[in-house]
C-alpha cells in the first residue's frame, strides 16, 4: 500500500499547504489555507453522489485552492444550477464541489493525512438512510442549519 503523503508542509514565508487527491493519484490539489469547519450532509442526493451515508466536506477559503495535476482528468456534474461536483474520470473519487465555477469545498476523504478539522454539524438528517446511525456530539439539523445560506453545495 502506498504511504500517505504528508498533509501539510511549510512553504517559504511559513504558509501552510494542505494536499489531497483521488484514489488512483491522477488528480492532485493543494490548498494554501486552513480548511473551514467540517460538515456531513445526509440527504439522498449526497448518499448517491458519495456512495455512502452522506458527504463529509469542509469549505475552503476563496482563492486558496489550486489543481496540482490531472485537472484535465476531471468529470463535472452539475447537481443544481451553479453547484458542481468534480470527480476523477479514472477512479471516480469525488474531490470537491464548486459554486459559480470556483472551488467551494473539498471532500474530507480526499485530503492527505489529518485535515485538522472535525465534523461540526450534520445536515439533512431528516432524510438520512434508515441504516445511518450518527455518532458524536456535533449538532444535527433536519435540513439546513438556521444560519445557512440557501443552496445545496455538496
Indicate if the alpha-carbon torsion angle 79, 84, 85, 91 is positive or negative: positive
- Assigned domain for 57 exists: yes
Has residue 153 got a pLDDT over 90?
no
pTM: 0.83
The total of structural domains in the chain comes to: 1
Q: How does pLDDT run across 58-88, given as a tens digit for each residue?
A: 999 999 999 999 999 999 999 989 999 999 9
CATH number of the domain where residue 48 is located: 2.170.150.70
How much is the pLDDT for 124? 96
Q: Nearest 5°: CA angle at 61, between 147 and 11?
A: 150
In a domain, 147, yes or no: no
Q: Which of 78, 84, 111 is nearest to 97 (CA)?
A: 84
Grid cell locating 84: 458542481
For residue range 117-133, list pLDDT tens digits in order.
999 999 999 999 999 99
pLDDT score recorded for residue 2 = 41
Q: How confident is the model at residue 1 (pLDDT cuts 50, 70, 90)?
A: very low
Residue 45 lies in a domain: yes
User: 123, 42 in Cβ contact below 8 A?
Assistant: yes
Q: Is residue 1 part of a domain?
A: no
Within a domain: 105: yes
At 83, is the secondary structure helix, strand, or coil?
strand
**pLDDT value at 31 more than 70:** yes
Asked whether residue 80 is assigned to any structural domain, the reply reads yes
Q: How confident is the model at residue 5 (pLDDT cuts 50, 70, 90)?
A: very low
Residue 53 maps to a domain:
yes
The predicted structure's pLDDT at residue 149: 56
Strand partners, 88: 74
59 is a domain residue:
yes
Expressed as residue numbers, the domain containing 24 is 8-127
Amino acid at each position: 500500500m502506498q504511504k500517505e503523503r504528508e498533509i501539510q508542509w511549510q512553504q517559504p514565508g511559513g504558509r501552510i499547504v494542505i494536499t489531497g487527491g483521488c484514489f488512483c493519484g491522477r488528480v492532485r490539489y493543494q490548498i494554501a489555507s486552513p480548511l473551514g469547519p467540517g460538515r456531513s450532509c445526509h440527504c439522498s442526493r449526497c448518499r448517491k453522489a458519495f456512495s455512502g451515508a452522506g458527504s463529509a466536506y469542509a469549505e475552503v477559503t476563496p482563492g486558496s485552492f489550486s489543481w496540482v495535476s490531472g485537472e484535465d482528468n476531471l468529470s463535472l456534474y452539475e447537481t443544481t444550477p451553479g453547484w458542481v461536483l468534480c470527480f476523477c474520470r479514472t477512479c471516480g473519487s469525488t474531490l470537491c464541489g464548486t459554486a459559480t465555477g470556483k472551488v467551494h469545498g473539498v471532500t474530507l476523504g480526499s485530503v492527505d493525512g489529518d485535515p485538522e478539522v472535525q465534523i461540526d454539524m450534520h445536515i439533512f438528517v431528516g432524510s438520512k438512510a434508515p441504516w445511518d446511525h450518527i455518532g458524536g456530539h456535533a449538532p444535527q439539523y433536519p435540513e439546513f442549519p438556521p444560519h445557512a445560506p440557501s443552496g445545496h453545495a455538496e
